[in-house]
Chains A and B, each alone.
Chain A
Amino acid sequence: MNNLVILPILLPLFSGVLLFFLRRQIRTQQAITLVATTATLISSLVLIGSISRDGIQILNMGGWEAPYGITLVADMLAALLTATASIVTIACLLYTFHSIGEDRKKFYVYPLLLLLLCGVNGSFLTGDIFNLFVFFEVMLISSYALISLGGGKVQLRETIKYMITNIISSMLFIVAVAYLYSITGTLSMAHLSERVALAGQDGLITTVSLLFLIVFGLKAGLLLFFWLPGSYSAPPAAIAAIFAALLTKVGIYAIMRMFTLIFYHQSDFTHTVLVWMSALTMILGAVGAIAYGDIRRILAYNVIVSVGFVVFGVAVASREALTGAVFYLIHDMLAKALIFILGGVIVSIAGTDRLRDISGLIRFRPTLGWLFFLSALALAGVPPLSGFVGKVMILQGGIAQSYYVMAAIGLLTSLLVLYSVMKIFINSFWGETLLSEGEEKSPGKGYLLPGAMLAALLIGLGLGAETVLTYVGQAVEVMLNPMLYIEAVLPQTGM
Chain B
Amino acid sequence: MELLMALVIGVLFAVAVYLMLSRTLLRIIIGTVILSHGVHLLLMTMSRLKRGAAPIMEEGNLAYTDPLPQALILTSIVISFGVTAFMLVLAYRAYQSLGTDQMDELKGEKEHE
Residues of A bordering B, CB below 8 Å: 130, 133-134, 137, 141, 144-145, 148, 151-154, 156-161, 163-164, 167-168, 170-171, 174-175, 177-179, 181-182, 187, 230, 353
Contact = CB atoms under 8 A, between A and B. Distances in A.
A148 B36 CA distance: 23
B66 to A, nearest CB: 9
A148 B69 CA distance: 33
A153 B97 contact: yes
B93 A134 contact: no
A353 B113 CA distance: 12
B108 A163 contact: no
B30 interface: no
Interface in B15-43: 20, 25, 28, 32, 35-36, 39-40, 42-43
- Pairs A-B, 10 closest by C-beta atoms: A182-B46, A178-B46, A156-B94, A178-B43, A153-B113, A174-B39, A171-B39, A157-B106, A167-B32, A137-B79
Nearest to B75: A134
Contact of A160 (B35, B80, B90): B90
Given A130-B72, A141-B82, A153-B113, A182 B94 contact: no
Interface string B80-102: 10110011001101100110000
B25 to A, nearest CB: 7
Nearest to A140: B83
B106 A160 contact: yes
B20 A156 contact: no
Contact of B83 (A141, A151, A179): A141
Contacts of A170: 79-80, 83
A181 B94 contact: no
Contacts of B98: 153, 156-157
A168 B32 contact: yes
B86 to A, nearest CB: 6
A184 to B, nearest CB: 11
Contacts of B113: 152-154
A130 B42 CA distance: 15
B20 A164 contact: yes
B77 to A, nearest CB: 11
Contacts of B39: 171, 174-175, 178
A322 B89 CA distance: 43
B42 A178 contact: yes
B50 interface: no
B76 interface: yes
B20 A171 contact: no
A112 to B, nearest CB: 12
Interface of B: 20, 25, 28, 32, 35-36, 39-40, 42-43, 46-48, 68-69, 72, 75-76, 79-80, 82-83, 86-87, 90-91, 93-94, 97-98, 106, 108, 112-113
A133 B43 CA distance: 14
Contacts of A178: 39, 42-43, 46, 69
B108 A157 contact: yes
Nearest to B84: A167
Given A156-B97, A175-B39, 11 more contacts: A141-B83, A156-B94, A157-B108, A160-B90, A160-B91, A160-B94, A167-B32, A168-B32, A171-B39, A177-B72, A178-B42
B97 A163 contact: no
24 contacts: A133-B76, A141-B83, A145-B86, A151-B97, A152-B113, A154-B113, A156-B98, A157-B98, A159-B90, A160-B90, A160-B91, A163-B86, A163-B87, A164-B20, A164-B87, A168-B20, A174-B39, A174-B76, A178-B69, A179-B46, A181-B47, A181-B69, A182-B48, A353-B112
Contacts of B40: 174
B28 A171 contact: no
B35 A168 contact: yes
B20 A174 contact: no
A160 B103 CA distance: 10
A158 B87 contact: no
B43 A174 contact: yes
Nearest to A174: B39
B70 to A, nearest CB: 12
A75 to B, nearest CB: 25
A145 B28 CA distance: 20
Contacts of A182: 46-48
A156 B90 contact: yes
A282 to B, nearest CB: 24
B83 A163 contact: yes
A187 B66 CA distance: 14
Nearest to A145: B86
A152 B113 CA distance: 8
B63 to A, nearest CB: 16
B48 to A, nearest CB: 7
Contacts of B86: 141, 144-145, 163
A451 B48 CA distance: 55
B108 A164 contact: no
A230 B87 CA distance: 18
